[in-house]
Structure 1
Amino acid sequence: SIVSTGGPLWLIAVRFFYHEIFFFKRRLWRKYELWEWFFSRLFIAIIIYLACQYGFLDYIMNYWFVPALVVGIALGLFFDYLPHRPFKERDRWKNARVYPSPIINLLIMGQNYHLIHHLWPTIPWYKYQPAYRAVKPLLDEKGCDQSLGLLARKSFWNFVYDIFLGIRFHRKSSNRQTESS
C-alpha cells in the first residue's frame, strides 16, 4: 500500500490524502459524487477562511485538526500498516495478517483479523473472530502470518525504520506468481 510504505509512519495520516489523487486518476466518482467532493472541500475551505478572518483558527486547530490527526494516525496504523506489514507478498494468503486477541479485537473492531477480510470480504467485521477460529487450520496449512510479529528482532527494527523513514520499494510480481495460489 502506498499509504503505508510511502514514508514515515508518523506521516501516515497525511499520506491518506493519496486516496484523493487515486479518486481522480481512476475517475471513481458516480452521478453526483464529484459535486459532493467539491462542496465538502469548499465547506472546509470556507470554515478555515472564516476562522482566519474572525480569530477562531486556534479552536479549529485544537478541536478539529488535532483530533482528525490522531484518528488518522490510529486508522492508518491499525487499519492499514499493522494488518498488511511486511508488504512483501501479493499472494492472497500472505498479503495481510491475523494477530488474535479478544481485547484488541474489541479495541480496533476486528482489524486484527484483517486477513479474514482479504480472503472473504463479505464477512462483516464483527464476525471476523469466529470466522478466524473456523478457518485457522486452513490458515496454518497455507502458512499465513498469525501474529503481530513486532517482537522478532528483524521485524522490530523494520518497524523502527518505518516509524522514521518508511520508504519501501515494491517489485512487480508476475501473473504466474499471483495466480498459482
Structure 2
Amino acid sequence: SGQDTLDEPVTVTIMRDLKKVGNKLLQVLHPKGDRHVLRDWDLWGPLILCLTLAIVLSIRAPEHQAVPIFTGVFVIVWIGAAVVTLNAKMLGGAVSFFQSVCVMGYCLFPIVVAAIVATCIDYIWVRVPVSIVTFVWSTWASVAFMSESQIHLQNRRALAVYPLVLFYFVITWLVVI
C-alpha cells in the first residue's frame, strides 16, 4: 500500500489482511474476474484453509486416527504445493514460488467447503457429487490463475497441469473417504 503501518493499531492491520483474504477467496469463486489479485501473494489464507481442512477431516476420523489425519492433510497440502510449484518452475514457468503456493492454497477453498458439507451430511451419494464439483472448480480456478503466469509453457502445458490435477485429486479423495 506504500503507507507506514508501523503505528497503526493491530485491529486495523488484521482487518486489512482479512479483507484481502476475503477478496482473494471471492476471486477463486469467480476465476474469470480480476486474476491480478493473487499476484500479491500471502500465506495467511492458504494457512487458514489448510488448517480448516485438516481440522474438519480429523473431526470426521476415528479418535485414534485424528492426529495422523490432521498431520497427513497438513503435510500433503504444503509438500504437494511445493512439489507442484517446483515442477512448474523446472518447466520454465514465470511464477514465483510463494505466488504459486498462494494460488494453490486459495484454490483449496471449494474443497474445504466440500469437506464441511461431508462432515454435516454423511451420505455418500451427496459427498461424491459435491466433491467432484469442488475438485473441478478448484482445478479450473488454479489452472486459470497459473496459466496466466506460464504463457510460454504452451507446448508443455500438460506436464504442468497434470501434477496440479493430481494434487487436487488426492485432497478431494481424502474428503470423499
Taking structure 1 as the reference length, what is the TM-score of the superposition?
0.24
Greater RCO, CA 8 A, separation 6+: 1
Taking structure 2 as the reference length, what is the TM-score of the superposition?
0.25
Greater C-alpha Rg: 1
